[in-house]
Chains A and B, each alone.
Chain A
Amino acid sequence: MEKTPLFGKSADELKEIVLQMGLPAFNGRQLTEWLYKKHARTFEEMTNLSKKTRSLLEERFTVGLTNFSNVQTSSDGTKKYLYPTSNQRFIEAAYIPDDDRATLCVSSQVGCKMGCLFCMTGKQGFQSQLSAGEIVNQISSLPERDQLSNIVYMGMGEPFDNLEEVMKSLQILTSEWGYAMSPRRITVSTIGMIPAMKHFIEHSECHLAVSMHTPFHEERKKLMPVENVYPIAEVVDVLRKFDWGKQRRISFEYIMFKGINDSPRHAKEIARLLGGMRCRINLIRFHPIPDTPLESSSEATIQEFREALLLKDLRTTVRASRGQDIFAACGLLSTKELVKMQTSDF
């Protein structure tokens, strides 16, 4: 019988597990602490559990942490870690150190089914969902774990297409019994799956980033098929209905494509769409992926676009490009490593 991993279970689930094994409830609390506070990787390390208890756990469970299998380091210090998943696939996590902060970009799915035109991960199709344990493992098994200041769910996959496990991973990261991180240090990025996004807004306090990439419906349909069912205008309408308080942040991600979405007309429409909303726009340089017809806008165009948005009172930044020499942002490493276990049949 395959053993069940404990990493990724909530405090309540761990308590339930030990009770079902006929063990005292406090063993559940001890397990929780070993998994999420003391970062134990084996049952042997859990020395305040009796030998018999450890042996019982060992018979039925694994701790469930997985080491990375490969790492690439950029000349700017960015590192891309490759983690194997339970079904012989691979996911990427990008560690991005900066002067006063260090961010980890985590994956939420193996592959992706959203099919955005500009995305390398989409080219490997959808392989499987990640469990909450596999999501948090990217943090727990990171050599630089203790230096992390921020976590962004912007790696492989659409987080809100794996809502239950993503929400559970956020619970582990932000609960007192878990990593006790401030939700203000975590950003979840979505292409705008409205029903799941609403659930996230209501049940989490983490920041939200929405991939916009063009404010025009017909254009966005060509770049992002999700626009067919969840148009960006409706996404913005939904966001306006929530009280975001003073600390919680909404940002809109905007990759700049030469001749596609970088005109003054686009800036004007963004200003109309987001007018009066307290939000930030992140302009992102496009780093071409194989076989793409898209090119990045020039530096001058990006700066002009930023100026145009600033003039409309929209807080706009240009994201620094990091890890370009290791393709840190695009899913290329895992696609290369992916062992094609199946042949497509269409």
Chain B
Amino acid sequence: MDTGLSSFVKKLPLITLPIHNIQEISRDTFIISFERTKEFLPGQVVALTLNESIPPRLYSICSSPDEFSITLLFSVKEGGILTPQLASLQKGDTVRVSGPFGAFLGDENPAWWIASGTGVAPYRSMMRSGLGVNKMLIHGGRTADSFYFHNEFLTAFGDNYVRCCSQEKGEGLYDGRLTQWLRNQSSLPAGNMYYLCGSAEMVVEVRDILISKGVGIEMIMSEIYF
């Protein structure tokens, strides 16, 4: 029995694309852009890898469908295989990428967008696509520099943009974890959708909090970074 992963990666429908731009926007967190070869919907993901020896990972697109490039947001995972190598790439190097797919899609109805870390990526795509009306963005991060795209979000959402910082204090930051902020809310808007995006730990804990506060499971949409 051949268990080799290289044949697995080789068969995936990935294409090779040169990098248009790669930039460290915060400590150990990067945006990477390459040509948009297909249409996509805000909230969708692509699978990305470097070569046949590394299984691809899924990344939410953080750019809008109107832009010429697709942009992804990623953090370097300590001990990881893919992200440390990705972070060392330069403009003109190539990546292997799938077409966009996925059903974590935004719409114009009122909603809370909840994210931890790089889980904010799909909301930027949705916001840039005009879906930011009637939305509240709650973003959790460890340090003050982990609120990626905060200038854009501040401009778009104003007071409806909450940054929950668990390890540092700072102007405009809520001092504590995202889950603590949610628990402290005396009531949650009825009829809103709640979008959750980020680590499994965050999604599971936030989902439990929302349910305990009376939000129906049909109102909660989750996207986990598998």
Contact = CB atoms under 8 A, between A and B. Distances in A.
B178 interface: yes
A346 B202 contact: yes
Contacts of A2: none
A182 to B, nearest CB: 13
A345 B142 contact: yes
Interface string A180-208: 00000000000001011011000110000
Interface stretch (B23-31, B62-70, B83-91, B206-214): B206-214
Interface string A261-289: 00000000000000000000000000000
A48 interface: no
Contact of B221 (A163, A175, A196, A222): A222
B15 interface: no
B202 A171 contact: no
Residue from B8, B102, B116, B199 whose CB has the most chain A CB atoms within 10 Å: B8
Nearest to A290: B208
Given A114-B200, A126-B200, A346 B178 contact: yes
A226 B58 CA distance: 12
A57 interface: no
Interface in A288-346: 291, 293-294, 344-346
Contact of B3 (A112, A113, A167, A226): A167
Contacts, number: 117
Interface string B130-154: 0000000000111000000000000
A114 B224 contact: yes
A221 interface: yes
Contact of B223 (A123, A195, A198, A225): A225
Contacts of A217: 103
Contacts of A75: none
Interface in A99-158: 112-115, 117, 122-123, 125-126
A114 B199 CA distance: 10
Interface in B170-226: 177-179, 198-205, 207-208, 211-212, 217-218, 220-226
Given A115-B222, A117-B217, A345-B166, A122 B2 contact: no
Given A203-B1, A228-B223, A229-B101, A115 B200 contact: yes
A115 B204 contact: yes
Given A175-B1, A229-B102, A346-B178, A115 B142 contact: no
Contacts of A117: 207, 217
B38 interface: no
A209 interface: no
Contacts of B140: 345-346
Interface residues of B, number: 48
B1 A222 contact: no
B3 A168 contact: yes
A231 interface: yes
A81 B60 CA distance: 38
A113 B226 contact: yes
A163 B5 CA distance: 8
A170 B217 contact: no
Nearest to A222: B217
A182 B159 CA distance: 62
A253 interface: no
A113 B200 contact: yes
A92 interface: no
A198 B11 contact: yes
B200 A122 contact: yes
A161 B56 CA distance: 11
Contact of B199 (A112, A163, A346): A346
A239 to B, nearest CB: 16
B103 A227 contact: yes
A307 B187 CA distance: 44
B119 to A, nearest CB: 9
A227 B201 CA distance: 18
B166 A346 contact: yes
B202 to A, nearest CB: 4
Contact of B211 (A114, A223, A231, A293): A293
A130 B97 CA distance: 28
Contact of B116 (A123, A167, A223, A346): A346
A148 B103 CA distance: 41
Nearest to A113: B200
A174 interface: yes
Given A115-B200, A125-B199, A346-B164, 16 more contacts: A113-B199, A113-B225, A113-B226, A122-B200, A196-B8, A203-B2, A203-B7, A204-B1, A222-B217, A229-B101, A231-B103, A293-B211, A345-B141, A346-B166, A346-B179, A346-B199
7 contacts: A113-B225, A122-B204, A163-B5, A164-B55, A293-B211, A346-B141, A346-B177
